[in-house]
Amino acid sequence: MSASHSVSGKEAPYYFVPAPSMHPATASLALLFFLLGMALWVNSVSVGPWFVLAGVLGFLFVLYRWFGDAIAESTGGLYSKRVDVSYRWSMSWFIFSEVMFFAAFFGALFYARAFTTPWLSDLDNRMVLWPDFAGAWPNTGPAGTIEPFTAMGPFWIPTINTALLLTSGVTLTISHHALLASNRAKAAFWLFVTILLGATFMGFQAYEYFHAYTELNLKLTSGAFGSTFYMLTGFHGFHVTMGAIMLAVMLRRLIRGDFTATHHFGFEGAAWYWHFVDVVWLGLYLFVYWF
């Protein structure tokens, strides 16, 4: 499971320090183009979208080169066990930061439901400000300025998506155990099935958004419910997409022979991320669609 040696068994006796690189500077430049493009775009400047496109493509190119260098260093035997520990801690803290990211949005949902809505519908507010506001959830706000909408229920697309993600967690675990048993063909097959399940999830999610906008009139502007619904499910969908891309890269590396039973932290890191995405979805399924 270590990332500390190459596939051929070589291991560096020291802590590897990479040579100076242009990757951080070029990544910063790409992000500058992206932010500048967004600012121009929202102000209706015609070159804004092109700056955004250049920033995104530039950043993706930097990531491709940067991760390619890291892979070459790993397979070349430049990493020691201390580097392996560094990678594991780095991935752990990255996932923890993602936990905090989603905790903020779940906290916003909880605050709107458990505090703000009851406050706006208490006796004082109903007598003075909002006499017709009952305080039910979801709602169109006390001022009645939001278009009526229908909340998205758990049946059937969210339930199908839950089954897809839970199944993908099982298939990914099967793939990992096959890799531990040095059965590369079986590992590659089940990893491909995991990616396919993730892609199917995203297809259903796209259809759900189309259904919500066109038939339920549920939009990002539909009050606190609409904004928290799309922020939570939208960012989760983005993470599923990124996770599927990570797993696709791991599939390519697995087929290429970069991983062995004792040398596959890249696979493990992507698997950690995917299981995190699964857990977040369970929270969404319960607190956004059911309760």
Tokens of 25: 């500077």
Please give the Cα distance from 249 to 55 (Å, whole number): 22
- Which residue matches tokens 């399940």? 197
Per-residue model confidence (pLDDT) at position 207: 95
Per-residue model confidence (pLDDT) at position 9: 53
Residues 112-135 as b/e (b if ≥16 CB within 10 A, e otherwise) read bbeeebeebbeeebbeeebeebeb
Per-residue model confidence (pLDDT) at position 10: 57
C-alpha radius of gyration, the chain, whole number? 23
pTM (two decimals): 0.86
pLDDT average per 10 residues of sequence, the chain (291 residues):
50 76 95 96 93 95 92 84 89 96 94 87 74 80 83 91 96 96 95 97 95 92 91 95 94 92 91 96 93 82
Per-residue model confidence (pLDDT) at position 12: 61
Please give the Cα distance from 84 to 72 (Å, whole number): 15
Spatial contact of 263 and 3, defined as CB atoms under 8 Å apart:
yes
Per-residue model confidence (pLDDT) at position 2: 47
